[in-house]
Amino acid sequence: MVAYQRFAPFYDVVMDDPGPRAVRVDAAVARYRPDAASLLELGCGTGSILARLTTGAALTGLDRSPEMLAVCASKVPGARLVEADMRSFDLGEEFDVVACVFDTVNHLLDVPSWASLIACAHRHLTGGGLFVLDVNTVGELRRLGDEPPWVYDFDGGTAVIDVTFAEGDGGLGLTDWDVRIFERVTDTRFELHHERIGELALPLARVRELLADGFDLLEEVDEDGLAATDDSIKAYYALRRRG
């Protein structure tokens, strides 16, 4: 996973609007765990999701990047923040809700890492606790790889993102995001910040297999609330911890 030491200040510039993802987390909590008193977000990054949640639960954010957590602390001063790896953390406590959204799990580039994150989420949920997860699909990563580079002008510079896609064994989809931020330093000089970010997508049948041991599936839907497929843009999950 990328450490984001130099990229953290620009992360929000190149990301999609996090608002709809936060709304989905709130809606899942309201539907399946309305009495939730505690929520843990895995890979909370700069706090764009945590800052928009309205569940009323006590918020904890976990991320392995201290630079990202520093941005998060300024956005969500009421949240408890933990620097840890979402594949192997042990907080010694349980939460009513664990959320891993904004394609965070896709940044884990092998199947065992996905399985480890899911096991950690299960271990940190109360009995009957809610796991809210979303993923980029193989079809979406393939489409992104087919698009020309994106160019974003923002206050203070320009971002250029070029995505390449490769299909691996078992239908896995792997992308490389080449992100270049040209930060305006003076009227005539720019400083380049360059990051390469990988994403892995699994066939949804494989995702369900990884989740099946510890969770009951409540929802697996696409952007429109229909049954998600490998050709959907994203798949959104709500799951109940079993046992």
Q: Tens digit of pLDDT for each residue in 55-86? A: 999 999 999 999 999 999 999 999 999 999 99
Residue 1 lies in a domain: no
- Pair (231, 120) in one structural domain: yes
pLDDT higher than threshold 60 for residue 204 = yes
- Pair (182, 84) in one structural domain: no
Residue 2 lies in a domain: no
- Pair (76, 128) in one structural domain: yes
- Pair (118, 96) in one structural domain: yes
pLDDT band at 193 (very low <50, low <70, confident <90, very high): confident
Residue 231 lies in a domain: yes
- Pair (22, 110) in one structural domain: yes
- Pair (122, 180) in one structural domain: no
Q: In this predicted structure, what is the pLDDT of residue 6?
A: 61
Q: In this predicted structure, what is the pLDDT of residue 102?
A: 93
- Pair (224, 115) in one structural domain: yes
pLDDT higher than threshold 60 for residue 2 = no
Share of the chain above pLDDT 70, in %: 94
pLDDT higher than threshold 60 for residue 149 = yes
Q: In this predicted structure, what is the pLDDT of residue 53?
A: 97
Residue 71 lies in a domain: yes
pLDDT band at 103 (very low <50, low <70, confident <90, very high): very high
Task: Answer whether 0.75 is exceeded by the pTM.
Answer: yes
Residue 55 lies in a domain: yes
Residue finishing a domain among 168, 185, 200? 200
Instruction: Report in angstroms the alpha-carbon separations of 150 from 145, 159, 180.
Output: 11, 8, 10
Closest listed residue to residue 53, CA positions, set 31, 28, 35: 28
- Pair (75, 157) in one structural domain: no
- Pair (59, 95) in one structural domain: yes
- Pair (101, 14) in one structural domain: yes
Which range marks the domain in which residue 193 is found? 139-200
Residue 42 lies in a domain: yes
Count structural domains, the chain. 2
Q: In this predicted structure, what is the pLDDT of residue 4?
A: 61
- Pair (118, 131) in one structural domain: yes
In angstroms, the first-to-last Cα distance of the chain is 31
Helices (H), the chain: 11-14, 19-32, 66-75, 111-123, 138-146, 204-212
Which CATH number goes with the domain that contains 210? 3.40.50.150
Mean confidence (pLDDT) of the chain? 93
Residue 45: Cβ within 10 Å count: 23
- Token pair 């990051």: residue: 195
- Pair (74, 48) in one structural domain: yes
